[in-house]
Amino acid sequence: MNNSVKRTVLVIEDNEINRGILCALLEDQYNILEAENGKVGLNLFQTHLRKISAILLDLQMPVMNGYEFLESVQDDPLMSTVPIIVITANNTIEEEERCLALGASDFITKPYNKGVVLHRISSIIKLRESVSTISAIEYDVTTGIYTRQAFIHHATQILTDHPDQQYDLLIAELVKSEDALGRYDQAAVKKMIKPAAQKVREMLREDSIGGRYSEIRLVCLFRSVPNGTPPEVVLRNDEGLVVTAKYGIVQNVPHDIPVMTLCDHALTAIQSIQHQYGHYYAYYDKQLQQNERYHNAIEQNMANAIRKQQFKVYYQPKHDIKTGKLVGAEALIRWIHPELGFISPADFIPVFEQTGFVAESDFYVWQRTCRNQRVWNEMGLPQIPISVNCSQRSFADDNMVSRWLNAKKEIGVPEGSMHIEITESAFIGVVEEMVKKLQQLRENDVQIELDDFGSGYSSLNMLGELPIDVAKLDMGFVNQIESPKKQKVIAACVNLIHNLNYKIVVEGVETEQQIQIAKNLGIDYGQGFYYSKPLPEEEFENYLKS
Amino acid sequence: MTLQECYCRIQGDYADALKRLMRDQLIERFVLNFPKDQSMQQLRDATAAGIQNDAFRATHTLKGVAKNLSLTKLADSASELAEQLRDGTQMPDPILLAEVEKDYKLVIDTLAVYVEEKE
């Protein structure tokens, strides 16, 4: 430790004699701040945060005891970096464990021993200073503004200290412009973030603060300005490099919500305009709030949805385009929640995918469909294959193949009755492994349908390598059938796929005209409202009978 | 009477205090402040008012101060009482409390003599 600077230690102990002794032991080597309870200590800590190198904390105190003090400090990104040494009289294991869980660094026991006390403090300060210095935690090196931790600490402080003042929180996310460097490498980020941070500094007034939230994001908290002009969208640095930014803004922030959550709200706002060209500002408004709540409700309810049998499996028929004969169906998941009502797949599928829960929901549909196939077979209904969607996340699971095949085997389905549908995006990664998995499935009587064919760019490359049976053309493809030039592209595609011996299904056929075009192109099967909408199990059963 | 003799009379451990605090003046400065410490009075008040938790806290503090000053006899009796009160549901056991009072009185009286002689 650099001995030329006298460090400051905060001593929090209610008993005057004990505190006096402790201070007398320390006074030669340290500057001392004294507090007679946790509350006074916390105030001193906040005021002199930058100065304090360590804290000695008694546990049994009136007004605010040591545990309560630890609790109020542990979640603060800056205060929690200052080591706290707890003074105990009986050092029971339970007591020590509780303190450590609350962030205490070390213990000293009463009665005080000068040598022990001084050594403990000295080594804990040394340790902390060797790991980091407070200034490194506080200011971002590149931009000179607060780091994220420091911003959160100071913003929390401002919101607590000014309960009646209105504040807005803003996050700016830099968007790479056309002439900027190709990707976000360190040099490019530096060039972009610097002028942006400069702008932030210029914008800041009294009790407003700014910080670097992440690589390409800046965050500010400032007093609400009614009808104030929004920040500039285009920034230019010295070299004339143009940087654009997208802003997420939370207006009139609630003072009782953690700053981290407010930042999440601002990010949610940015997220909502992420892929919208020409949109630069988004406010965290009621609509977004509702969306977020809905999203959270989905996340909280999904785990129980299987047990409570809220998922329903619908079946959309596939027909032979030439003969009109029923040749198969696709299983589709639906969620009917007792309170939330019918939840759209467009809402819940992305949440399932993000959380990985999709592996469970996909498997549920698979099991359910296997059972239905068996029952329908036993009823003597016509036997057609049904395809079940297997998302990228499900497919990536190492146990997927064995899990699905085991279920199929246990339930005992008729031969040729199960297909899976995967999308091109499932092939991101090691192609050999994918191929191995697909082969394993095919060897066990599961045909592979490649969904959304033509929506990505990888499949032409891999098409020859993939052991698949059916290619499905997506709606976007079908909808362009009216354009003669695109028809040529599709015709070439159809030939290519047929040459590889795959069948072709076109999804989303709605009109007689589309059917005609598909027929002329030689497409094998069609699926869509022209034939039938997705049907619940009972209705599909009747459909099979007819 | 020297401070060491004073410690002898109240069954304290002067050597231990010196080993820990390292300076004679420091011991004297704080032990002479001991009569001003409020924890014994707080223990009596809590006992009279029937507040178990406060009784424990006061005893706990008294024990801590006595230990810090190496007033061993008092620290021991306070420690025994603190253990009896620890769970916060009981009032002080009269016998243990009397023991603490006796040890406390001995310390206060002896210190008074020491101060008087010194002046």
Cβ-nearest to B68 among A14, A21, A62: A21
Residue A57 with chain B: CB contacts under 8 Å: none
Interatomic CA distance for residues A368 and A331, integer angstroms? 10
Distance CA A380, CA A142 (A): 73
Residue A1 is predicted with a pLDDT of: 46
Per-residue tens of pLDDT for chain A, all 546 residues? 444 578 899 999 999 999 999 999 999 899 999 999 999 999 999 989 888 999 999 988 888 889 999 999 988 888 888 999 998 876 678 888 888 889 898 888 888 888 889 999 988 888 877 665 555 678 888 888 889 988 998 899 889 888 888 999 999 888 765 444 445 556 666 777 777 777 777 777 666 888 999 888 989 998 877 666 656 655 655 666 666 788 899 989 999 889 999 999 999 999 888 877 778 888 998 888 888 888 888 988 998 998 899 999 999 999 999 999 999 999 999 999 998 889 989 889 988 988 889 999 999 999 999 999 999 999 999 999 999 999 988 888 889 999 999 999 999 999 999 999 998 777 666 678 888 899 999 999 999 999 887 666 555 666 777 888 999 987 567 566 567 787 788 788 888 889 888 999 999 999 888 888 888 888 999 999 999 999 999 999 999 998
Burial class (CB within 10 angstroms; exposed 0-12, middle 13-18, buried 19+) of A382? exposed
Choose among A15, A21, A89: nearest Cβ to B21.
A21
For residues B100 and A136, the model is more confident at B100
CB contact under 8 A, A111 and B20: yes
A-chain CB neighbours of B37 within 8 Å are 15-17
Partner residue facing A110 (CB), from B22, B29, B64 = B64
Cβ–Cβ pairs < 8 A, chains A and B: 59
C-alpha–C-alpha distance, residues A206 and A266, integer Å: 22
Q: Give the predicted TM-score (pTM) of the model.
A: 0.54
Does B18 contact A at CB distance below 8 Å?
no
**Residue B29 sits at the chain A interface (C-beta within 8 Å):** yes
Secondary structure (DSSP) of B14-70: HHHHHHHH--HHHHHHHHTTGGG--HHHHHHHHHHHT-HHHHHHHHHHHHHHHHHTT
Nearest-by-CA chain A residue for B69: A111
Give CA angle at A457 (A452, A463), nearest 5°: 75
Which of A11, A21, A88 is the best residue to mutate to test the B interface, defined by the most B CB atoms within 10 Å of its own CB? A21
Task: Check residue A400 and report its DSSP letter.
Answer: H
The pLDDT value recorded for residue B13 is 93
Could you report how far apart the first and last alpha carbons of chain A are, in Å?
87
